[in-house]
């Protein structure tokens, strides 16, 4: 650890209570999937903190979601920026914070809705920026993205397009999603999400005129068999036809059936295989007189483990060793995140830069408080060295 690292550490150590209080404020400000105002209230807090640090903040309107917060710090630098990313929403319904408010237990673990995923990440990114400012570092701009609707996979909004626009041209990106209790950094994430095939047929009375009908349910069954046959789980290829809805009763040939499908893919090449199969199955109809349409609008891109990702991981891992934090391993995980957007732009990206903990998306969610300060130091020191 060199002298500047020590200064960063001293700054963060001196801000422990501030960071903890801000974490509590974020957690106790509810921002569940139906609480657009709540996401904007988190955005208000984030905006105030960024402006206090000298950043210029823009609020970008997002369709059917809260605002995207874009903080531009040190924009006068000629170097390409580093992107800090974190989502402001949670999965929890209204009232969750009243039942399960922020608190720290005797073992040093913090509890509350979104305490791990990922209100802590917002604090880490903010104070990493402030720590760099405290030592006079101004080599690169930092662009802070506060994202309003990651937990719903941006399925109702145009946020993916806006995030890509705001992140374009960055030298690197750090996504402050949480990591597991075992110390690690995420160097790869599966792509995927919900897709659907809607089948249209011809309705008819199944007793008096069955020959006039064209069963959408039967056509959907043919499609399901073809899709499920393509699964290759060991290779990282999943097509799960998890729900089917259609028909009105046994006495009617159904003219409608919707297949709801969950897909996951380890890399983009496997993803393209899945998309090609989905298109083929949608277009080819076994039952004459039926048709179908495919919706893939809610899919999240995979975070491929590119050479740039590996180089950034090596840089951050070596920084952690220099700080005395040990060598942090790199892992690939199945969960989706916005890191896929930035990697898809060719930006070296690390995910899981947030706190360590367990129980995401449940009432048992917790985060290790000490990891808040460790990851903040790691982020600041790694960016200083870029």
CB atoms near residue 348 (< 10 Å): 21
DSSP string, 313-333: HHHHHHHHHHTTS-PPEEEEE
pLDDT at 21 over 90: yes
pLDDT at 264: 96
320 near 2, Cβ under 8 Å?
Answer: no
Q: State pLDDT tens for residues 326-350.
A: 989 999 998 889 999 999 999 999 9
In the chain, the percentage of residues whose pLDDT exceeds 90 is 97
Collapsed DSSP state (helix, strand, coil) of residue 160: helix
Cα-based angle 336, 337, 340 (whole degrees, multiple of 5): 100
CA pair distance 260, 152, nearest whole angstrom: 16
pLDDT at 1 over 90: no
CA pair distance 51, 191, nearest whole angstrom: 34
Helices (H), 215-290: 216-228, 268-283
Tokens representing residue 26 in the block: 């974020």
| Residue with the two structure tokens 């076994």 | 286
Helices 3-14 & 16-28 angle (0-180, nearest 10): 50
pLDDT band for position 163 (cuts 50, 70, 90): very high
Q: State pLDDT tens for residues 233-267.
A: 999 999 999 999 999 999 999 999 999 999 999 99
DSSP string, 191-215: EEEEEEEEEE-B-EETTT-GGG-B-
What domains, with CATH codes, occur in the chain?
Answer: 3-190+302-385 (3.40.630.10), 191-295 (3.30.70.360)
Q: State pLDDT tens for residues 125-148.
A: 999 999 999 999 999 999 999 999
pLDDT at 327: 86
How confident is the prediction for the chain on average, in pLDDT?
97
When pLDDT is averaged across residues 214-230 and rounded to a whole number, the result is: 98
Q: State pLDDT tens for residues 262-295.
A: 999 999 999 999 999 999 999 999 999 999 999 9
260 near 198, Cβ under 8 Å?
Answer: no
pLDDT at 197: 98
144 near 73, Cβ under 8 Å?
Answer: yes
Strands 56-60 and 82-87: unpaired
Strand ranges inside 101-190, DSSP E: 103-104, 109-111, 142-147, 172-175, 184-189
DSSP string, 266-279: SSHHHHHHHHHHHH
116 near 102, Cβ under 8 Å?
Answer: no
pLDDT at 65: 97
Backbone phi and psi for residue 170, each to the nearest 5 degrees, phi listed first? -75, 150
pLDDT at 372: 98
- CA 95: distance to chain centroid? 23
pTM of the full predicted structure?
0.91
């Amino acid at each position: 650890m060199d002298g500047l690292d020590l200064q960063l550490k001293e700054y963060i150590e001196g801000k422990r209570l501030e960071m903890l209080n801000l974490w509590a404020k974020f957690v106790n400000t509810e921002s569940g999937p139906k609480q657009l105002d709540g996401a904007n209230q988190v955005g208000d807090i984030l905006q105030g903190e960024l402006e206090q640090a000298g950043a210029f903040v823009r609020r970008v309107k997002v369709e059917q979601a809260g605002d995207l917060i874009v903080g531009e710090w040190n924009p006068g630098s000629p170097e390409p920026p580093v992107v800090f990313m974190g989502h402001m929403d949670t999965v929890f319904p209204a009232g969750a914070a009243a039942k399960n408010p922020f608190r720290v237990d005797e073992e040093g673990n913090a509890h509350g809705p979104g305490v791990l995923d990922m209100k802590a990440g917002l604090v880490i990114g903010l104070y990493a920026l402030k720590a760099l400012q405290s030592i006079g570092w101004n080599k690169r701009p930092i662009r802070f993205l506060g994202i309003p609707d990651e937990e719903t996979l941006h399925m109702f909004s145009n946020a993916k397009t806006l995030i890509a626009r705001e992140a374009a041209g960055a030298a690197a990106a750090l996504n402050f999603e949480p990591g597991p209790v075992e110390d690690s950094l995420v160097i790869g994430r599966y792509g995927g999400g919900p897709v659907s095939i809607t089948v249209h047929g011809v309705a008819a009375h199944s007793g008096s005129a069955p020959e006039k009908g064209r069963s959408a349910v039967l056509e959907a069954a043919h499609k399901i068999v073809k899709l499920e046959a393509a699964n290759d789980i060991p290779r990282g290829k999943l097509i799960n036809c998890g729900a089917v809805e259609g028909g009105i009763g046994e006495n009617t040939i159904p003219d409608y059936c919707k297949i709801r499908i969950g897909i996951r893919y380890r890399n983009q090449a496997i993803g393209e295989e899945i998309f090609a199969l989905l298109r083929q199955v949608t277009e080819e109809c076994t039952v004459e007189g039926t048709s179908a349409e495919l919706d893939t609008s809610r899919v999240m891109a995979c975070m491929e483990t590119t050479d740039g990702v590996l180089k950034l991981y090596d840089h951050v891992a070596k920084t952690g060793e220099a700080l005395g934090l040990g060598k942090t391993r790199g892992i690939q995980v199945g969960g989706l995140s916005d890191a896929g957007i930035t990697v898809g732009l060719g930006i070296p990206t690390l995910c899981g830069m947030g706190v360590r903990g367990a129980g995401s998306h449940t009432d048992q969610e917790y985060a290790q408080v000490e990891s808040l300060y460790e990851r903040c130091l790691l982020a600041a020191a790694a960016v200083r060295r870029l």
